[in-house]
Amino acid sequence: MSVLTTAPRVDTNKVIGTLLSDVTLRDLDDDGVRQLVDLAAERGVLFFRNQEMTLAEQVEFGSRLGELHIHPAAKAPDGYPEVLLVHTDENSRYTAGDGWHTDVSCDARPPGLSMLRIEQVPSAGGDTLWASMYEAYETLSPSFREYLSSLTAVHTGDLAYRGRYTKDDRDTEYPTNEHPVIRTHPISGRKALYVNSGFTQRIRGLSRRESDGLLKILFDHIAYGVRFQTRFHWEPNSVAIWDNRCVQHHASWDYFPETRHGYRVTTRGEVPFQ
């Protein structure tokens, strides 16, 4: 029996987020990894404490979750092209993830699972919030859900990356792709809202005014949907693993000028479908 089956669990919200204790991720067998992937599809985000591992061990474990994604804009640590450095200190102009988003939804095959491991934390603050896009969808009116199901949206890396990772990226082409506004999760079979303020530029087929108005309604619905959100307070060597197909997240930058430091690996997902 896999250790994940018997691990003590605490749900951090009725509809999203589960903290699992007495689990060492790098020691999970293949059955345990499969259970983890299935549980992430159900609960959206999973939390683990006391996960001491090297960067190489994190990459190795991440590769067991799926084919690893390479970020289209951020510079990776030397020797680890699959790793995104998550670092904010007194010299930072911004912090990664400061705004509701799902990771790199501008890609043709946007990320599936993301695994963030934090090594250094500030004395207070620095939490990350997650929101269930299953519940964001379910809490809309039936007629509105039906209308949204007929729409697609344009997601572009220009919104998130232009001018952020390099001083001169005028000639850089960041990914731009079109995805359904409502997508179906390939494991759970549930429908989820799939637009986000980080990457979604416009709704296809609507005027600019109509598109902006509709997106504002949806973005506000996500941001103010506190009943389908959960919050995680980081400790050194904490890990969060979340499914980008059914959650969004927001990193709280409320600890300036202190430092928060960690690493993220992410798997490639499939082309979103309705």
User: Tokens for 165?
Assistant: 């990772």
Query: Does residue 146 register a pLDDT over 80?
Result: yes
Active site residue 71: no
Choice among 43, 69, 101, 185 that is catalytic: 101
Terminal Cα-to-Cα distance of the chain (whole angstroms): 35
Task: Tell me what pLDDT residue 174 has.
Answer: 85
Closest by CA to 186, choosing from 266, 106, 243, is 243
Is 249 an annotated catalytic residue? yes
> What dotted CATH number matches 3-268?
3.60.130.10
Q: What percent of the chain has pLDDT over 90?
A: 87
As given in the structure block, the two tokens for residue 45 are: 């985000």
Whether 155 is catalytic: no
Q: Say what the pLDDT of residue 93 is.
A: 86
Q: Which of 117, 190, 245, 264 is catalytic?
A: 264
- At 18-77, the pLDDT tens digits run 999 999 999 999 999 999 999 999 999 999 999 999 999 999 999 999 999 999 888 899
At residue 1 the predicted structure's pLDDT band, cuts being 50, 70 and 90, is low
pLDDT band at 131 (very low <50, low <70, confident <90, very high): very high
Active-site residue among 43, 71, 103, 183?
Answer: 103
Is 264 tagged catalytic?
yes
Give the tens place of pLDDT for each residue, 97-115.
Answer: 889 999 999 999 999 999 9
Q: Which of 2-6, 158-162, 236-240 has the lowest mean pLDDT?
A: 158-162
- pLDDT tens digits for range 190-203: 999 999 999 999 99
Average pLDDT of the chain to the nearest whole number: 95
DSSP string, 3-38: HHHHS-EEESSSSS-EEE-S--GGG--HHHHHHHHH
DSSP state letter for 93:
S
Residue recorded with tokens 């960041």 = 174
Domain boundaries, the chain: 3-268
So what's the pLDDT on residue 243?
A: 98
Strands annotated E in 91-216 = 111-120, 128-132, 152-156, 176-180, 182-184, 191-193, 200-203
Q: What pLDDT does 89 receive? A: 96
